[in-house]
Amino acid sequence: MADYYATLGVNRDASQEEIKKAYRKLARKLHPDVAGPEGAEQFKAVNEAYDVLSNQEQRKLYDMGGEEALHGGGGAGFGGFQDIFDTFFGGMGGGMGGGQRGPVPRGRRGQDALVSATLDLEEVVFGCEKSISHTLAGECPTCHGTCAAPGTEPIPCDQCNGTGSVQRVTNSLFGQMVSQSVCPKCHGHGTVIVTPCSECAGEGRVRVTKSTKVKVPAGVEEGMRIRLSGQGNAGVEGGPAGDLFVEVRINQDPVFQRAADDLQCELQVPMTSASLGTTVTIDTFDGPQDIEIPAGTPSGHVIVLSGLGVGRLHRGGRGDLKVAVAVKTPTKLDEAQRALLEQLAQMRGEQQPTARLVQQNSSIFSKLKDKFAGR
């Protein structure tokens, strides 16, 4: 195991300035242009030691556990050293670690796409599968993402000889230095498309209209987004597709209203039926349901049908259907009906018009609010 401090000839408590001075001195002395090829390994070791000790975080890891701590911590020690070494030996070969990095594959990931799906309340209650038509970037049907015209293919770049990078030689304090940069002709790919596909203009994708099926779980809410991985816009030059996000929109139902996982509705009952009691049948999302109206049911009374509400998105099961009774008072009476009501009022001792204010917490409005809230 190498001792980086010994390699640079400094104490373990050396300052950053002392480490830098020691490195510069040894680098000048051991550079191959000065020491010859036999000094290459020592020069490499000095650069390696400096790369670690000049980085505060890497130095802490090394001080705690040596080279094993550097590798275990996933640090960038040797990555940084490789950059330095490539600066001196880039393109020289000879197995000293300074070779070219190779071409960059073509293809960039496509952008994500956003579409909306409009649901009826019944579809929210049970969940559904929707088919959505939308336009986005899709793979070119002619070149299938290769970007080249049919019958042709990319050829090696003559400027970088297919490596994807070009070298530049400059003179410096340490002598002649070789650096690498991305090839300006092939943009680092190592190949050039001489005859681009005419349908997609060499991009590998075109605008398409497609239909996508999405499974919508029960209990989704307005504005929620469902992610479909890899079904968004196709990537450029054959790259992977982005994701498709489906944003939920919910139509208002003419009868039922949603309150979290519950459904609410209002049932109008004639005054006589509310007074005498009756059984009525109502249409729900689960089909016809019989509801018993007890005799003397007041307006605002809430009848709960358990498990007939909205499917719960995360907990499973369903909420309840809450039916609020609204007693309908007759407004148009003929003479016979009026006579009967007057007779009833006389029998109940209500022949004189009477009315009274009630306390707020006992009013029909507060009762209705509490019952809908489940209190």
Mark the binding-site residues, compressed into ranges: 140, 143, 157, 160, 183, 186, 197, 200
CB 242 within 8 A of CB 229: no
CB 190 within 8 A of CB 164: yes
Distance CA 295, CA 278 (A): 7
- Show binding-site residues for Zn(2+): 140, 143, 157, 160, 183, 186, 197, 200
Which of 229, 226, 234 lies closest to 210 in space, CA to CA? 234
Residue position matching structure tokens 């400027």: 159
From the centroid of its chain, how far is CA 113?
11
Copy the structure tokens of residue 92: 């020289």
CB 241 within 8 A of CB 235: yes
Residues whose CB is less than 8 angstroms from the CB of residue 368 and which lie 6 or more positions away in sequence, other chains included? 300, 302, 324
Amino acid, single-letter form, for residue 85: F
Copy the structure tokens of residue 188: 């680092």
Residue position matching structure tokens 């019989």: 290
Residue position matching structure tokens 């020491």: 35
Residue 297's H or E segment, with its range, is none
